[in-house]
Amino acid sequence: MNNKYADLVERLRRYSRWANVGNPSYSVAMREAVDVIESLSAELEKKENGGWIKCSERMPEEHDSCLAKWYGTNRWTDEMWKKQSDDVLVTMEFEDGTRKTEKMKTHDGKWFYDIYVVKFNVVAWQPLPEPYKESEEDAE
């Protein structure tokens, strides 16, 4: 969540717990309002910087890879990884300062790129957009 609003959301959540003592229905309404503020601040964070997230702020979430089941067995090798992220868009910066946008993922917290010919640094990333879905209007 956008750091600008994190303190506000936390204060409002504390107030809603306190309000529950005197008026439970007021507390429910306040919690719902805080949820909306939290959701809107997340949307605002996506729109700031065109949706790009600095790697220094956070990395993509990872989940178990299909190889994780072999960790700790005799099948495990150093080339395998336990965790990986979904594909995301990244902004890569090369040694000469040029930047390029590519699709990549992380393996065990490190960026994985098929081509390791040149040195690069990933400076920012963003989730891939959802695939296009035809609306009912388009289908007519």
Domain coverage including residue 35? 3-49
Name the domain count of the chain. 2
Of residues 2 and 55, more confidence is placed in 55
* 59 & 39 share domain: no
CB neighbours (10 Å) of residue 30? 19
How many Cα atoms within 13 Å fall on the side-chain side of residue 128? Answer: 11
Same domain, 111 and 79: yes
40-95 pLDDT, tens digit per residue, is: 877 776 666 788 989 998 899 999 999 999 999 999 998 899 999 999 999 999 99
Query: Residues 26, 19: contact at Cβ < 8 Å?
Result: yes
